Amino acid sequence: MITCEEMSEDQQQITQPKPDFLKSAAPWADTLSKSIAGVAIALYACGFLVISLYHANFGFVGTNPFRPRVLAAGAWFLFFTAVPVSIALRYRTESWSKIANNAYPLWLASLALSVPLSYIIFDYPPDQDYQPPGKWGWALMILALAAVIVLKMLKDKKKGPQWLPALLSVIAALYFVSYPVRDLFIRHRFTASSVALWFFASFLTIKLEFEMRSGRNLAEDGEWSKPLALVFGLLLFFSREMYPHLKASWGGGTPANVTVYFLKDSLLSPNKSVQAQLIEESDEGFYIVGPKESKAIFVPRGSVAMIYFSDKPADSPMLQNTK
């Protein structure tokens, strides 16, 4: 018959961790803790730079560096960078001729990935002049893909010119990439294809950096400066072109349309209301941008009676009779 004391001793032996297991798990725990700390530092550093560069567009520097918004900005930057990095790692050892053959399919893959992401987490300002691609545009896109596939099949069978599939793929990719380039940098209009442009251009840039470095140690002859310059370039592009269109509900930088009601002692529009965009909020006040303006104005909290988060005060029954 087993006594209670024997049962308790057996349970203690079962529940007590073995010394060998603790010794083997110690290096893994140390590596895991260092990895988590490194990721947290990278998130904060990238997020702080993204928000600082974003605020610099409006003429001021970020206010509170310890807000959760900083980590959200860093997380989105690392997420949108991880996609082209993973593709570049897949093609790291491939020649540029193979990338030329797959240029147009890679563009279509980037576009297919950007469409669901863009309509969920991005905000598009209304544009009356925007015309979505018609049926002929989609037909041309499908026809170009079919031509590239057929020519690649003929190339595998060693029929026809071997350079023709690559040439057609590059021409088709450049043709369709020109649309988001023109929209983003000339017309200053952000669309779903702008996200695809980020994936496609980032992949080519990262692949080029891999080729230039050629596996050399980062500590040799200033090799560390090349990836650092690439990261800063990606940060600059992300903060200027993509982060301002990320929805604020997802931790992005889309300005909020507000109506600000000022007190009678305010230096700006005393005892009146103005429509503006809220860029940033701090413990001291608000950074707002007026209609048709590009630089922010700081408004102390003591000058504001209330803020209505809409640019149409008439939509609120409580504010219809407010003077």
**What CATH code is carried by the domain that includes residue 293?**
2.30.30
Q: What percentage of the chain carries pLDDT values higher than 70?
A: 69
Contact indicator for 46, 73 with CB cutoff of 8 Å: yes
- Are residues 275 and 193 part of one domain? no
- Are residues 121 and 43 part of one domain? yes
Q: How many domains does the chain have?
A: 2
- Are residues 239 and 264 part of one domain? no
Q: Considering the domain boundaries, does residue 23 fall inside one? A: no
Q: Considering the domain boundaries, does residue 11 fall inside one? A: no
> For residue 295, what are the domain limits?
256-319
- Are residues 165 and 62 part of one domain? yes
- Are residues 160 and 113 part of one domain? yes
| Distance of alpha carbon 275 from alpha carbon 141, whole angstroms | 43
Residue 220 reports pLDDT greater than 80: no
- Are residues 264 and 244 part of one domain? no
- Are residues 302 and 203 part of one domain? no
Concatenating the DSSP letter of every residue in 94-113 gives S-HHHHHHTHHHHHHHHHHH
Q: Considering the domain boundaries, does residue 46 fall inside one? A: yes
Residue 163 reports pLDDT greater than 80: no
Q: Report in angstroms the alpha-carbon separations of 268 from 102, 157, 290, 298.
A: 57, 74, 12, 10
Amino acid, single-letter form, for residue 207: K
Average pLDDT over the chain, rounded to an integer: 78
The sheet that has 304-308: what strands, in order across it? 297-300, 285-289, 273-281, 256-262, 304-308
pTM: 0.77
Task: Please give the pLDDT value at position 105.
Answer: 86
Angle at 134 between CA 131 and CA 136, to 5 degrees: 145
Q: Considering the domain boundaries, does residue 197 fall inside one? A: yes
- Are residues 270 and 238 part of one domain? no
Lowest mean pLDDT among 40-54, 59-73, 165-179, 296-310: 59-73
Any alpha helices (H) in 57-124, and if so which ranges? 68-90, 96-101, 103-121
